[in-house]
Amino acid sequence: MADPIEKVSIIISRGSLEGVYPGLIMANGARMEGIEATLFFTFFGLDAIINKRMDNLKVATVGNPAMHIPTLVGAIPGMSAFATSQMKKEMEKLDIPPVREFIEMIHDTGAGLFACKATVDMFHLTQADFCPQCDDIISVGQFYEMAAGGQIIFT
């Protein structure tokens, strides 16, 4: 029998609703199982922890093969808003909290939340742009040091 997982580090790189939630759900599940969890937000995944953006994440309808609709249909004005609304309704039925609340819950369980320094610099952001749950802005090297001995999951 394999040893149980004791530590996970989850990289969130996409800023769409369907790009952020898998990592949040996995981190929350890890913490509920007593597994140490670290979240590393990079590139557009930063939107999940940027104060001005985290409440307005949308479902990507254009070029998203999982939507099972033609790209042209996904580009119709209002389609992303409609898909986002529907997804949020379904998540609410399952008692999955909105992004801001979920971030707060996960952080309160002791999970670490970190922003990628290279991306923060590239997008000209500062610590003040992030929600209070963002523990720090760290380099990839620092992330690897934190992740040492655990599993790395890229969502």
Mind listing the pLDDT tens digit for each residue in 6-53? 999 999 999 999 999 999 999 999 999 999 999 999 999 999 999 999
Domain span at 37: 7-58+97-154
Euclidean distance between CA atoms 110 and 60, whole angstroms: 30
Give the full edge-to-edge strand order of the sheet including 112-116.
Answer: 136-138, 112-116, 36-41, 7-12, 151-154
Question: CB–CB of 57/17 below 8 Å?
Answer: yes
User: What are the start-end ranges of the E strands in 4-100?
Assistant: 7-12, 36-41
pLDDT tens-digit profile of 116-132?
A: 999 999 999 999 999 99
Residue 66 lies in a domain: no
Residue 111 lies in a domain: yes
Please tell me the total count of domains within the chain.
Answer: 1
Residue 91 lies in a domain: no
CATH of the domain at 148: 3.40.1260.10
Residue 110 lies in a domain: yes
Residue 115 lies in a domain: yes
| pTM for the model | 0.91
Residue 27 lies in a domain: yes
Q: What is the pLDDT of residue 141?
A: 97
Helix%, strand%, coil% for the chain, nearest 5: 45, 15, 35
